[in-house]
Amino acid sequence: MSLGRRLVRVASPLAALGVWQLLTSLDVNLWLRFEQFPTVVEVASALADRIGTEAYWQDLGHSLRRIALGFLLAAVLGVAAGTAVARSRWAADVLGPLVEVVRPIPAIALVPVAILLLPTNEQGIAFITCAAALFPVLVSTRHAVRALDPAWEEAVLTLGGGRARVLFSVVLPGSLPGIFGGLSVGIGVAWICVISAEMISGEYGVGYRTWQDYTVVDYPGVFVGMATIGVLGRLTSTAVEALGRRVTAWLPRPAERGTDVPSRAPGSPADAAPTRTAVVVPEKEPVP
């Protein structure tokens, strides 16, 4: 990444903070009302005070543990179910209708179900987090598996490989980019729902503490909670994307936009190479 782009990425949030400080310090009240908003300085002061307390880190640990448990369950179940639905007609007939009926239901709407079914709030929050991340992973895996080139599977079968070899040598490696795309979306949705669940029925956690600050009209504390949620979401999403790049490092990478492509001399072998025509491979239908 060029130095100019790095500077823009640093200047963008700093400019947003500057506008926030200006509007709140001047108590701007046009269509939007900023006179009750805490200033950036007040939020920073509250954050400095919170970081020095044990309760802040305890809440952080609770939220991270809930995210880790729910997201890992969603990753395992989503990849397994998505692969099964894409590869097996029987699984597609049994699980497909259930997935399409349950998928539109917001995960936070499952809070009453979690309260009725599960004995503790911790298990209920983990269940809601898992449900939130499950369907992005499942759907992305299903599409990624169905879009694989059938020639790869046929080559393994021709060389004597069985279905297990096809699964672990072709299907899962070939669908990794799509799987990690679903995981990246799923971790963001999981944070939205775990914070909402903590606000409704949680004990401890960043969402619980943010809601408590709101009930006692501690607005700087509310913004501390929001900032903490944003930073945690960015860090976990970045970790998932970095893991995806590492796992799929063997795949060819497209050239970054804006980079210069080295020119070739006329008459070089690259110029004489025939132009390849892109072939669109249809999604593979599940097998019995």
- Cα gap 168→238, rounded to integer Å: 26
- In percent, the amount of the chain with pLDDT more than 90 equals 42
Q: Is the pLDDT of residue 130 over 80?
A: yes
- How many of the other CB atoms lie within 10 Å of CB of 170? 22
- Cα gap 13→85, rounded to integer Å: 42
Confidence of residue 255 (pLDDT cuts 50, 70, 90): low
3-state secondary structure the chain: CCHHHHHHHHHHHHHHHHHHHHHHHCCCECCCECCCCCCHHHHHHHHHHHHCCHHHHHHHHHHHHHHHHHHHHHHHHHHHHHHHHHHEHHHHHHHHHHHHHHCCCCHHHHHHHHHHHCCCHHHHHHHHHHHHHHHHHHHHHHHHHHCCCHHHHHHHHHCCCCHHHHHHHHHHHHCHHHHHHHHHHHHHHHHHHHHHHHHHHCCCCHHHHHHHHHHCCCHHHHHHHHHHHHHHHHHHHHHHHHHHHHHCCCCCCCCCCCCCCCCCCCCCHHHHCCCCCCCCCCCCCCEC
Are 153 and 170 contacting, i.e. CB atoms less than 8 angstroms apart? yes
What is the mean predicted confidence (pLDDT) over 72-97?
A: 92
* Residue 111: predicted pLDDT: 83
- Cα gap 280→176, rounded to integer Å: 19
For residue 266, CA distances in Å to 85, 97, 160, 263, 269 come to 51, 57, 46, 9, 9
Q: What are the pLDDT digits (tens) for 220-230? A: 999 999 999 99
Confidence of residue 253 (pLDDT cuts 50, 70, 90): low
Spatial CA neighbour of 34 closest among 206, 228, 223: 223
Q: Is the pLDDT of residue 280 over 50?
A: no
Q: Is the pLDDT of residue 273 over 50?
A: no
Q: Is the pLDDT of residue 284 over 70?
A: no
The encoded tokens of residue 171 equal 């299907």
Confidence of residue 270 (pLDDT cuts 50, 70, 90): very low
